[in-house]
Amino acid sequence: MTRLQRLFRIAWVFCRYRLDTFLPLAELPAPLKVFFLLAPWHLFPKPKLSRGDRLRLALEELGPVFVKFGQILSTRRDLLPDDMAESLKNLQDRVPPFSSHLAREIIESSLGAPVAELFKEFTPDPMASASVAQVHAATLRNGQQVVVKVLRPGIERVIRQDLSLMYLMAGLLERYWSEGKRLHPVEVVADYDSTIHDELDLQREAANASQLRRNFENSSLIYIPFIDWDYTRKSVLVMERIHGIPIADVPALQAAGVNMKVLAEKGVEIFFTQVFRDSFFHADMHPGNIFVDVSNPADPKYIAIDFGIVGTLAPDDQSYLARNLLAFFRRDYRQVAQLHIQSGWVPPDTRVNEFEAAIRTVCEPIFEKPLKDISFGHFLLRLFQTARRFNMEVQPQLVLLQKTLLNVEGLGRQLYPELDLWSTAQPFLESWMRRRIGPSGLLKSLQTHLPSWLEQSPEMPQLVHDALMQLREAGPTEQQNQATLELLREQQVRSDRRWRRGLVVIILVAAAVIGTRPEAQAWLENVPAWSWALLAAAGGLVLRGSR
């Protein structure tokens, strides 16, 4: 289908579901306003459906690329009214499968051998068919049951066409709609562009799955199927076949005797473990990708699939996010405002008092509710909406995290309506913060950085010399040279002090660790006295130099 044909197809669906009613006609330029008022879609009767259902059905009819876009859009409550977001949540990623003949051709082309040689059994009819790929059941030669995920043929060309049209429509909205600049439609499409292209490389998805599997090896929380790398390529992925009850099938879970409270709380723990312990989280945890192992109903275990979208957080973002959440829980709005400024999420010239007052105004009504009635995901959403009023730039890593949290919270409340996300999350966050800033965290940080410090320290004199030679060759004024030399001296002094204080900290931490171990104390009793004298003299020199 050419781009022009595709454009006509989109226009037909637009007319059929009367999506023109979503347009801000009053804000359009006069020529466009006349065009829309006289356009042929007025000949179509307006469907007797809510606006959200009309949008959902239109996206389903436009095909898999638009369906996936609608799914992602449903998580952006900052962009859509609640009724439309709720309708888009019901988008089903069940698209017609492509022929098994084509699937076999792609497998054989990617793996370089006939399907009959690669697999002991291969089921031609797909188990499931989604936006960018479909899945077939198979059995390896060694008897292992697997699933074979095959990328849709020609999907990259279709995605390019649809994305170019999405960018066109988003650009028009941003230019002519008064809310366009605030809602950043072009930015939303760009975010989707990045996401959908990540999903087109099945080797990337396989690598994500392998990382998550290592992170949760032997865990009682979640099981990640293993990837067979010998049979995995860019367009083909072979993964262990899992068996479980879909998490959305609540009646089946209840019939199996599953402890729903434990299951819901485990979901929350999985999310916070991925975000704060690993800084690597499954960012597509909608009900279609999650199953439950009910072999032990009293202690059920999650099973995850589809790892095309993952998120990560930098250490600074992890720390600021955890401290923000804890400060919110304690209603310390000033610290929240200060943390936003320190993190760079809002401009440094933001007035702390004004920002604090805005946050308090938004959050106090929320905290008047019982904790179990507070939505953690919507809470974060209100925070980001407030911060945006103070020119907070969009933080892609936080948007992905918010989307995942909304999914997790929605699943948890569906499983166990009394789920108190706050009381489940707070102990985890406090424990993580203690580990991060306590002695164990300090020791780990020293273990991480000390080798590079030791490696770089001999190079410092040479670096200073090279800098001085460059300054002399550049020929600056005597005053500039003097200022530069003074700055270099100050930096060298500070570096020496940090280095010596670092040694002091290492000695103190080592002493604390050794003091708690009986075998170490026994060894220390046998150390000669002259060694202690030498150590004391060295310590005195270090302390003297750090002054």
Q: Is the pLDDT of residue 532 over 50?
A: no
CA distance 72 to 78: 12
Average pLDDT over residues 507-523: 50
Q: Please give the residue that has the higher pLDDT: either 474 or 101.
A: 101
- Beta strands 290-293; 245-246: pairing state: antiparallel
Where helices occur in 216-314 by DSSP H, the ranges are 250-255, 260-272
Going from the C-alpha of 176 to that of each of 29, 73, 171, 482, the distances in angstroms are: 8, 21, 9, 57
* Cβ atoms of 149 and 126 closer than 8 Å: no
Least reliable range by pLDDT among 95-99, 350-354, 410-414, 483-487: 483-487
**DSSP single-letter state for residue 98:** P
Neighbours of 35 (CB within 10 A): 11
Over residues 375-400, the pLDDT tens digits come to: 666 666 677 667 667 776 656 667 67
CA atoms within 13 A of residue 275's CA, in its CB half-sphere? 27
Give me the pLDDT at residue 498, please.
Answer: 55
Average pLDDT over residues 182-189: 72
Q: In this structure, what are the phi and psi dihedrals at residue 523, rounded to the nearest 5 degrees?
A: -65, -40
CA distance 326 to 319: 11
* Cβ atoms of 339 and 317 closer than 8 Å: no
CA distance 484 to 504: 30
Average pLDDT over residues 246-273: 89
CA distance 70 to 64: 10
Average pLDDT over residues 235-251: 92
Q: Which residues are catalytic?
A: 284
Over residues 78-110, the pLDDT tens digits come to: 566 767 777 777 776 666 788 999 999 999 999
DSSP bridge partners of 223: 303
* Rg of the chain (C-alpha set): 29
Q: In this structure, what are the phi and psi dihedrals at residue 49, rounded to the nearest 5 degrees?
A: -135, 160
Give me the pLDDT at residue 109, please.
Answer: 93
**Confidence band (pLDDT; 50, 70, 90) for 489?**
low
* Cβ atoms of 132 and 200 closer than 8 Å: yes
* Cβ atoms of 196 and 65 closer than 8 Å: yes
Q: Is the pLDDT of residue 543 over 50?
A: no
Percent of all residues in the chain with a pLDDT value above 70, rounded to a whole number? 65
Over residues 189-234, the pLDDT tens digits come to: 887 787 777 788 899 999 999 999 999 998 999 999 999 999 999 9
| 3-class state of residue 238 by DSSP | strand
Q: In this structure, what are the phi and psi dihedrals at residue 424, rounded to the nearest 5 degrees?
A: -75, -40
Give me the pLDDT at residue 30, please.
Answer: 66
Q: Is the dihedral of CA 441, 445, 446, 448 positive or negative?
A: positive
Q: What is the pTM of this model?
A: 0.69
Q: Is the pLDDT of residue 353 over 70?
A: yes
Residue found under tokens 């022009």: 4
Q: Is the pLDDT of residue 452 over 70?
A: no
Task: Give all strands (DSSP E) within 286-420, no chain letters.
Answer: 290-293, 301-304, 310-311
**Confidence band (pLDDT; 50, 70, 90) for 466?**
confident
Average pLDDT over residues 366-378: 64
CA distance 275 to 221: 15
